[in-house]
């Protein structure tokens, strides 16, 4: 796939470094705060471009200084930003990210202008969808927009990839039926299906329930345990690469970008291509978690290849 469209969120991340996450009712002293461009959609677009693919971003920001910085950062990475609209009298999306010494994070998102990414605004960018090979969506923008985007892309024969975060239990069935590949983590899988996911067997059963709703393939990311691929024909685990994680903020978005950059949706070799793309995705996310921040942590294709050369 050479041309990818990402339809989703742009947020300015306020990354707060803390020793430990605060308990309920507790006041703690943070170590440092940094302003870093983020948002699941923007992170994925930024990462796909860093990995050498052409990518267009469809989204919405406010007319504030954060909007300027969010769009400018994507442009520096080579992302096409003509599909990003500026919404008057609305603040850009913001995320408050707490990161502890173990590299674990907790995130609160203020949607801001992301709420103004409507179905009509997606339709205004139909030409971009026409020219692409795959459309990537998440759930930090209105669900009706997500459903509409998936259905439009499916009708046009495009690969539809859904990162279902933040997960919610009330997604309409027509969305699942329009998704080729879905990538939930364990928590998201539990929310989406209402099923237990405490064991490997339970995770597989929950993933298969999504297949029954029409999803083509499910990739369940398991953090330091890697991921598991579930299709109608295959169930396979992929162990995580051992690294010293310092910040997992953009790990999932880097994984998504790595997968899309490597995946070749050839009908005859689909299962083989899925596996190869997942291995590459693991390499990309393993590098990202060793660095701080969202877009600031995402590696280039050259860095991934250099890391692989060192292992060989």
For residue range 67-125, what is the model confidence (pLDDT) as tens digits? Answer: 999 999 999 999 999 999 999 999 999 989 888 988 888 888 899 999 999 999 999 99
- The β-bridge partners of 83 are 58
Q: Annotated catalytic sites, by residue?
A: 253
Rounded to an integer, what distance in angstroms lies between the CA atom of residue 175 and that of residue 282? 27
Question: How many CB atoms are closer than 10 A to CB 31?
Answer: 10
User: Tokens for 117?
Assistant: 């990414």
Give the SS3 label for residue 158: coil
Q: How many CB atoms lie within 10 A of CB 183?
A: 24
Domain hosting 42: range is 3-311
Average pLDDT, the chain: 91
Distance CA 108, CA 111 (A): 10
Count of domains observed in the chain? 1
Q: Is the pLDDT of residue 203 over 70?
A: yes
Q: Note whether 271 and 294 are within 8 A (CB).
A: no
pLDDT at residue 53, as a whole number = 94
Q: Which CATH number characterizes residue 218's domain?
A: 3.40.1190.20
| Distances from the Cα of 270 to the Cα of 48, 138, 233, 264, 277, angstroms | 21, 23, 11, 8, 10
How many angstroms separate the CA atoms of 70 and 294, rounded? Answer: 12
Q: Give the model's pLDDT for residue 311.
A: 63
Dihedral sign for Cα atoms in the order 78, 80, 82, 85: negative
In this prediction, residues 275-288 reach a mean pLDDT of 89
- Residue 64: burial class (beta carbons within 10 Å; 0-12, 13-18, 19+): middle
**Burial, 97: exposed, middle or buried (Cβ in 10 Å; 0-12, 13-18, 19+)?**
buried
């Amino acid at each position: 796939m050479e041309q990818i469209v990402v339809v989703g969120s742009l947020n300015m991340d306020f990354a707060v470094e803390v020793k430990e996450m605060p308990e309920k009712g507790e006041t703690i002293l943070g170590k440092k705060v940094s302003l870093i461009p983020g948002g699941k959609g923007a992170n994925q677009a930024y990462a796909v471009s860093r990995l050498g693919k052409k990518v267009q971003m469809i989204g919405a920001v406010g007319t504030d200084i954060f909007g300027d910085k969010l769009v400018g950062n994507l442009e520096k990475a080579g992302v096409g930003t003509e599909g990003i609209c500026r919404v008057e009298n609305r603040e850009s999306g913001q995320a408050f990210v707490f990161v502890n010494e173990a590299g674990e994070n907790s995130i609160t998102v203020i949607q801001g202008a992301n709420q103004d990414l409507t179905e009509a605004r997606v339709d205004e960018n139909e030409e971009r969808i026409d020219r692409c090979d795959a459309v990537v969506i998440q759930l930090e923008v209105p669900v009706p927009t997500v459903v509409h985007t998936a259905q439009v892309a499916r009708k046009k024969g495009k690969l539809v990839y859904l990162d279902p975060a933040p997960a919610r239990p009330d997604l309409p069935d027509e969305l699942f039926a329009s998704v080729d590949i879905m990538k939930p983590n364990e928590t998201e899988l539990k929310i989406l299906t209402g099923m237990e996911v405490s064991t490997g067997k339970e995770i597989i059963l929950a993933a298969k329930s999504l297949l029954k709703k029409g999803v083509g393939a499910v990739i369940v990311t398991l953090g330091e345990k890697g991921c598991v691929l579930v299709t109608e024909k295959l169930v396979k685990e992929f162990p995580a690469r051992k690294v010293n994680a310092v910040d997992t903020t953009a790990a999932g978005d880097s994984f998504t970008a790595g997968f899309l950059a490597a995946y070749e949706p050839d009908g005859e070799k689909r299962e083989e291509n899925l596996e190869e793309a997942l291995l590459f995705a693991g390499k990309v996310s393993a590098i990202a978690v060793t660095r701080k921040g969202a877009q600031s942590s995402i590696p280039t294709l050259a860095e991934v290849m250099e890391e692989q050369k060192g292992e060989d």
